[in-house]
């Protein structure tokens, strides 16, 4: 796999209709600088807004992956993204003069061809791989979906589909070498649907641009001639011939015997591009679809953002430590004598954090609380838990260096046992609810596994510059 980031050498354009909306669109791929990522730009809208190709911006997954930022929306992004992943292109601007890119023939092949025509250029920046180092799994028992990412120093995909439909049956496929297999074995796999779905999809406002030049229709039932004529008229097909069950409408020839499975792998590749980083992982997917792909991508993206945060603040790897005290001073504004967390030993982005405070006799507050009977003040235990929670508010999306967590309420505070010199305070904080600038957390502090204190904390996330007399601590 490539070591350095890549873009294209020259702009390249293609035109066509969108599969679901039926709109006619002109699309232009343009070079982009290092670390720019993949962004769609709606040049037909005022201000020409951009939509980053990230899972954070997915708004619809009905037979395609739609992303939106503000008023700018882009339908059916997955085939374009698969082409970029397959060619290992990291940075590109995709200009569109309408809401949906061309579907072309229903595969990624046309996009691959024009990108190769534009030429691929190596950039000086290194690729920031997400190296999966532990099993990541997504399961949807209702739909029988199971997607797993396993550690490997490569990029591999294996897909199995089973629609419980005898017209298609079960199929599987696998991509094990991106450079050697993607273009020839997967880029030309076309989108498909079943004959019984066509009318329903059309009535839902989908496949308005669908026809037999950009989709495969699998015949899974016998229909009277009048029904065939009605359906094929909607698809703009003349003189339709319907084969027996298990065939394709108008006897359309498949590129591969397992072309549906290969297309599902292509869709998965495109949806996983929404993680926002190239992957080194073995992906095993049973019965994937856009909804499950995106949920899995969100889960993996969270790991990626967590990885970036840890790498940003923790400059030296330490066994059993996520953030040491030096890293904490880069994250939190607190300083002596009010930094009450020594290290973070567990960190799950937007979910849970575990911090440690080693309580010694040298603590400044023991001098007066209480002479001859040193006890850590309950308010400072709350403060230590709050500081731990402040680290949990890092999310990798906003600029954390310019933010402060201002606690707005403390509820249900209880103190179960005194904390004294020699104790190690282990603080577990879990996220209960988070919105853009508000968070609610539950915090517990333990000593030797025994609950010492607990509280429900609420915080507002504010810009440091909005506070009177504020300045960033050094």
**What is the reported pTM?**
0.87
Q: Beta strands 120-126 and 72-74: pairing type? A: unpaired
Among 261, 294, 310, the domain boundary falls at: 310
More confident residue, 464 or 442: 442
Q: What is the pLDDT of residue 48?
A: 98
Query: Model confidence over 314-337: pLDDT tens digits?
Result: 999 899 999 999 999 999 999 999
pLDDT score at 142: 93
Decide: 208 and 22 in contact? Cβ < 8 Å: yes
Strand partners, 458: 409, 440
Task: Give pLDDT, residue 473.
Answer: 38
For 8-42, what is each residue's pLDDT tens digit?
Answer: 999 999 999 999 899 999 999 999 999 999 999 99
pLDDT of residue 215: 86
- The DSSP letter of residue 421 is T
**What local confidence, expressed as pLDDT, does residue 437 receive?**
83
Cα 385 to Cα 390: distance, rounded to the nearest angstrom: 9
pLDDT band of residue 168 (cuts 50, 70, 90) is confident
Contact 56, 397 (CB under 8 A): yes
- Taking residues 378-386, report their average pLDDT: 97
Q: Which of 115, 126, 98, 110 is nearest to 41 (CA)?
A: 98
Residue 118 and residue 168 share a domain:
no
- pLDDT (0 to 100) of residue 347: 95
Number of domains forming the structure of the chain? 3
Average pLDDT value for residue range 199-221: 81
Q: What is the structure's pLDDT at 399?
A: 62
Q: Does a structural domain hold residue 18?
A: yes
Same domain, 153 and 22: no
Listed in sequence order, the DSSP H helices in 161-289 are 178-181, 198-203, 225-234, 259-272
Q: Compute the average pLDDT of residues 189-213.
A: 82
Last residue of a domain, one of 256, 286, 310: 310
Tokens of 266: 């292509």
Nearest to 150 by CA among 139, 158, 161: 158
Q: Please indicate whether residue 56 or residue 240 has the higher confidence score (pLDDT).
A: 56
65-83: string of b/e by CB count within 10 Å (b at 16+)? Answer: bbbebeebbbbbbbbbbbb
Strand partners, 233: none
- Do 95 and 70 lie in one domain? The reply is yes
Instruction: Answer yes or no: do 119 and 141 share one domain.
Output: no
Q: Above 50 in pLDDT, residue 472? A: no
Give the pLDDT of residue 201: 81
Q: Are 219 and 252 in contact (CB under 8 A)?
A: no
CATH number for the domain that contains residue 265: 3.30.1700.10
**If residue 452 lies in a helix (H) or strand (E), which one and from where to where?**
strand 450-463
The band of 474, judged by pLDDT with boundaries at 50, 70 and 90, is very low
Considering the domain boundaries, does residue 319 fall inside one? yes
In this structure, the answer to whether residues 153 and 247 fall within a common structural domain is yes
Residue 48: which CATH number? 3.30.230.20
**pLDDT at residue 227 tops 90:** no
CA distance 117 to 388: 52
Residue with tokens 């930094």: 339
Q: Is residue 380 in a domain?
A: yes
- State the residue range of the domain holding 382: 314-466
Q: Does 233 share its domain with 167?
A: yes
Q: Does residue 129 sit within a domain? A: no
Mean pLDDT of all residues belonging to the chain: 91
Residue 385 corresponds to which tokens in the numbers above? Answer: 């838990």
Same-domain check for residues 206 and 305: yes
Give the residue numbers annotated as catalytic, written as ranges: 290, 369
Whether residue 130 lies inside any domain: the answer is no
Establish if 471 belongs to a structural domain.
no
Question: Are 349 and 443 in a shared domain?
Answer: yes
81 and 108 housed in the same domain: yes
Q: Taking phi first (over 0 means left), then psi (-120 to 50 degrees means alpha), and beta for anything else, what does residue 119 get?
A: left
Tokens of 381: 């235990």
Answer whether residue 305 is part of any domain.
yes
Contact 82, 88 (CB under 8 A): no
Write down which residue in 88, 104, 124 finishes a domain: 124
* Pairing of the two strands 155-162 and 279-286: parallel
Whether residue 296 is found in the same domain as residue 364: no
Residues 150 and 114 in one domain: no
Q: Using pLDDT thresholds of 50, 70 and 90, give the confidence band for residue 397.
A: low
What is the tens place of the pLDDT at every residue in 288-299?
999 999 999 999
Cα 456 versus chain centre, distance = 29
CA dist list (Å): 470 to 398, 402, 466:
19, 11, 7
> pLDDT above 90 covers what percent of the chain?
77
Residues 320, 428, single domain; the answer is: yes
Residue 276 lies in a domain: yes
């Amino acid at each position: 796999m490539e070591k350095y980031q890549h873009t294209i050498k020259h702009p390249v354009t293609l035109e066509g209709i969108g599969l679901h909306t039926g709109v006619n669109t002109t699309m232009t791929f343009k070079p982009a600088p290092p670390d720019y990522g993949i962004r769609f730009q709606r040049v037909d809208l005022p201000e020409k807004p951009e939509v980053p190709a990230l899972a954070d911006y997915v708004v619809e997954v009905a037979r395609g992956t739609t992303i939106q930022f503000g008023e700018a929306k882009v339908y059916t992004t997955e085939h374009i993204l698969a082409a970029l992943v397959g060619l290992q292109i990291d940075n590109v601007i995709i200009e569109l003069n309408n809401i949906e890119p061309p579907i072309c023939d229903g595969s990624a092949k046309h996009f691959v061809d024009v990108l190769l025509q534009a030429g691929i250029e190596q950039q000086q920046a290194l690729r920031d791989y997400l190296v999966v180092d532990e099993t990541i799994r997504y399961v949807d028992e209702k739909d029988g979906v199971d997607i797993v990412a396993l550690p490997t120093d490569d990029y591999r995909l294996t897909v199995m589909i089973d629609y419980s439909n005898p017209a298609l049956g079960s199929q599987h496929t696998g991509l094990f070498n991106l450079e050697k297999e993607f273009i020839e074995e997967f880029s030309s796999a076309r989108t498909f649907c079943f004959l019984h779905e066509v009318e329903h999809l059309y009535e839902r406002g989908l496949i308005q641009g669908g026809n037999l030049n950009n989709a495969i229709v699998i015949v899974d039932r016998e229909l009277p001639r009048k029904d065939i004529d009605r359906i094929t008229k909607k698809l703009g097909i003349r003189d339709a011939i319907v084969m027996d069950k298990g065939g394709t409408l108008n006897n359309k020839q498949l590129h591969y015997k397992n072309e549906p499975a290969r297309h599902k792998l292509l869709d998965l590749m495109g949806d996983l591009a929404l993680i926002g980083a190239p992957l080194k992982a073995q992906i095993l997917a049973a019965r994937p679809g856009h909804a499950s792909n995106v949920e899995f991508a969100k889960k993996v993206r969270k790991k990626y953002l967590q990885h970036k945060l840890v790498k940003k603040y923790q400059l030296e790897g330490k066994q059993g430590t996520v953030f040491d005290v030096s890293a904490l001073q880069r994250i939190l504004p607190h300083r002596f004598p009010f930094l009450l967390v020594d290290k973070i030993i567990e960190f799950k982005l937007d979910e849970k954090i575990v911090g440690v405070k080693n309580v010694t006799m040298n603590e400044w507050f023991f001098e007066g609380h209480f002479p001859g009977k040193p006890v850590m003040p309950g308010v400072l235990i709350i403060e230590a838990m709050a500081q731990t929670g402040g680290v949990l508010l890092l999310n990798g999306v906003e600029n954390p260096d310019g933010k402060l967590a201002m606690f707005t309420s403390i509820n249900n505070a209880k103190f179960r046992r005194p904390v004294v010199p020699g104790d190690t305070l282990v603080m577990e904080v879990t996220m209960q609810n988070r919105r853009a600038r508000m968070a609610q957390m539950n915090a517990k502090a333990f000593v030797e596994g025994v609950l010492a204190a607990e509280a429900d904390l609420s915080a507002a996330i504010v810009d440091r510059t909005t506070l009177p007399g504020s300045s960033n601590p050094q």
